[in-house]
Structure 1
């Protein structure tokens, strides 16, 4: 007896339609309602966090506008811009990994059962709209993205287990660490260049002694820089996974539509044909 009988194909078709409609509904709810919001963690004891900013700044464009609004009336220097952007990030987010859930992207959520890295969120726009907690690589990349949007060259830097960003102005790189909430400054309150920080053991101990990162910052050749192309993440696989995430954002809608279309085609193809009356 053949396995692919008309009735079997018809049942398969209806199952495909049902799954397609369900997944399309999940994708739409996750895209346009709070169903896709990620889990956010409470702030650490020493963290700066303003819950009001979460409701005031709910997407990336609002974050950019908030930077512009806070810059109004201030001296427009790269250092001043970076300070405003840094303050917004550390006050808007707490520390926890921003992950895809069933609502935000069902494809990446399911792929996470194969490897948890697939659930890690990469899109800066999603960082703002999906919740208020980020890991160090996410918060530093969001700050990098903001810096570039405000005409400041920036790069993502890996410190062997911790990730920061650096902004280029006044002839050198300057380190900004929104996750640990560290901006190394001198006694006059000026942000240290990376060269100045690397040469001052006392300041290295002050800012990064508790995290045992002094040697990585002092021996700059050990940094895992990803400076090309501009705006890239420090780790090559992060750049690849960001592209996978972009593709999955399209496929989470396209695949259910294809499932519905295939299911309807199977149901139509296997529909019993009514016998035609014969003329006597």
Structure 2
């Protein structure tokens, strides 16, 4: 009786891999479940590759724009009104107007994957990616400006103008309309501009160097009633998409980390 007991003790003391506990019965035999481990290992490798791609595919100009952008955010403006004008002109120079761009898979593979089923999430609201890409539409450039002014404690909100989007800033001096897409800043709010005599806004824009047709067209945008809807102060253009994008960014880092933890746990021997 002593011999078998010693054998059982030796067997119980043997170090086993957790993989040996992932077994299934088939034809009366126990076989390890290799498939779950293989899937987990593939997820860990592919998600890690996605994280690495963010750094591999980033070009020098994108990094330079980001460094320049972060430096500008840290600068202390001499006055609030001057900071509004400088920030608007800066975003206008830093980015180019385009119809917008879809987020690339190497920028955030989780967000790109979700975007294959829900396309609006492919249009980022993250100022970092807009600056890195160097281009954006009116709403995306306004999002960059909102981020800049928010660093200095300036309240802003998006205002729709017949399909065009501008930013309205609120300071102690009053409200101002800022349009980084055109590089325009005006020391009056939307409601005040709409109450100006006909032709006065266009005349001011012409005085600043804008062409006559563009000035007249811009004044018509200011006066339009179509899609003239302001957002909440300091709110993103689409809060729901913003939250979903933030979740995708967390998943971008969390999925590979958790996957590798489980892979390591499954291969390190443990005592039975």
Compute the TM-score of the two structures, normalised by the length of structure 2: 0.70
Q: Which structure 2 segments of 5+ residues have no match?
A: 1-24, 206-211
Aligned counterpart in structure 1 of residue 118 of structure 2, from 115, 118, 127 = 115
Give 1:7 deviation, angstroms.
Answer: 6.2
Say if 2:102 and 2:123, in contact at 8 Å, map to a contact too: yes
Say if 1:152 and 1:168, in contact at 8 Å, map to a contact too: yes
The 1:226–1:56 alpha-carbon spacing in structure 2 relative to 1, beyond 3 Å, is: closer
**1:31-85 residue CA offsets vs partner (Å, 9 max, x unmatched):** xx25256xxxxxxxxxxxxx8x9736526432313x43xx4xxxx3322111111
Say if 2:42 is the partner of 1:18: yes
Say if 1:36 and 1:101, in contact at 8 Å, map to a contact too: no
Measured on the aligned residues, the alpha-carbon RMSD in Å equals 3.7
What is the CA–CA distance in structure 1 between the aligned matches of 2:167 and 2:57, rounded to whole Å? 31
Aligned counterpart in structure 2 of residue 83 of structure 1, from 85, 88, 97 = 85
Aligned counterpart in structure 2 of residue 141 of structure 1, from 137, 140, 143 = 143
Map of 1:35 onto structure 2: 57
Q: Which structure 1 segments of 5+ residues have no match?
A: 38-50, 185-190, 270-280
Say if 1:140 and 1:163, in contact at 8 Å, map to a contact too: yes
Map of 1:224 onto structure 2: 229
Compute the TM-score of the two structures, normalised by the length of structure 1: 0.68
**1:220-260 residue CA offsets vs partner (Å, 9 max, x unmatched):** 79621122xx31024xxx11111111121111122233334
Give 1:98 deviation, angstroms.
Answer: 4.7
The 1:94–1:27 alpha-carbon spacing in structure 2 relative to 1, beyond 3 Å, is: same
Aligned counterpart in structure 2 of residue 157 of structure 1, from 142, 156, 159 = 159
Give 1:100 deviation, angstroms.
Answer: 2.3
What is the CA–CA distance in structure 2 between the aligned matches of 1:144 and 1:244, rounded to whole Å? 19
Say if 1:9 and 1:266, in contact at 8 Å, map to a contact too: no
Q: Secondary structure at the match of 2:230?
A: strand
**1:171-208 residue CA offsets vs partner (Å, 9 max, x unmatched):** 53221111133335xxxxxx444344212321445669
Q: Secondary structure at the match of 2:143?
A: helix
Pairs aligned (count): 235
Q: Secondary structure at the match of 1:24?
A: helix
What is the CA–CA distance in structure 2 between the aligned matches of 1:19 and 1:193, rounded to whole Å? 51
Map of 1:166 onto structure 2: 168
